[in-house]
Amino acid sequence: MSLILGIVEDRTTREILQRAFSDLGFEFICTTFASSDLPEKLKLPISLVLVETRRGQEFRDQCKRFKPICSAPVMVLISRGDEESITNYKQLGVADCIIKPLRVSELKARIRMILATNHPANGHEQERLQCHRLEVDLVKRRVYKDGKEITVTRTGYRLLLYFLEHQSRVVTRDELLHEVWGYTRSGEDRNLVETAIRRLRKEIEDDPKNPECLHTIWGVGYRFEEPD
């Protein structure tokens, strides 16, 4: 089982990460830069380090603390508005950056990509997700239907990943709002989900009005599954 270390201050972010890694089957432990147990945790057999940071210089100083101890790839969680710092983070050797609020499906896909790149012999991490005639290449972030690449929107890509990770299970609209869009309250803008679902069906289904895989469960949500 892969071990993920989170260096995270925000409680809500920690809870989201805990759920995401539990779904993926990874062991997740969390600490902060101020914690006295950080040096010991960095010596564990870590597959990935997630760091929540707000300022580039702060992160540069933090890197000096843990890079000599831990050689695992690093993903940085940054606040919206700090996108200009991404280049600086990459120059410091960061494997990837993801902007908060976290979208769980995108987070999972990026983590799989990092782990597949850094631990290719580990069979736990997937590089592709499949269902019926659809296939998603998690490393290249491309979608294929019958072996041919198709175009989907960014939101459609995140939705498709989430459905593929939860095949044959009914997924509620509130769940999608939380996991794909990062909303924290129930009932927020359900029309957003319905509009995105209609667009995704146009992108992946031969006949969007009679879908093979992406079905509406009236009054509840949606289910993505192999056709009979």
Q: What percent of the chain has pLDDT over 90?
A: 23
Task: Tell me if 127 is assigned to some domain.
Answer: no
Task: Tell me if 128 is assigned to some domain.
Answer: no
The whole-angstrom separation of Cα 139 and Cα 113 is 5
Task: Tell me if 132 is assigned to some domain.
Answer: no
Residue 21 and residue 90 share a domain:
yes
Task: Tell me if 61 is assigned to some domain.
Answer: yes
Residue 20 and residue 88 share a domain:
yes
Which residues of the chain form beta strands (DSSP E)? 3-7, 27-31, 48-52, 74-78, 96-99, 128-131, 134-137, 142-145, 148-150, 170-172, 214-217, 221-224
Compute the residue count for the chain: 228
Parent domain of 183:
152-224
Task: Tell me if 177 is assigned to some domain.
Answer: yes
Residue 161 and residue 85 share a domain:
no
Q: What is the DSSP string of 31-90?
A: E-TT-TTHHHHHTS--SEEEEE-S-HHHHHHHHHHHTTT--S-EEEEE-TT-GGGHHHHH
User: Into how many domains does the chain fold?
Assistant: 2
Task: Tell me if 186 is assigned to some domain.
Answer: yes
Task: Tell me if 137 is assigned to some domain.
Answer: no
> pLDDT tier at 82 (50, 70, 90 boundaries)?
low
Distances (CA, A) of 61 to 19, 28, 82, 114, 136: 29, 24, 17, 23, 38
Q: For 202-227, write each residue's pLDDT tens digit.
A: 999 999 999 999 999 998 999 999 88
Least confident of 6-10, 23-27, 77-81, 190-194: 77-81
What CATH number is associated with residue 189? 1.10.10.10
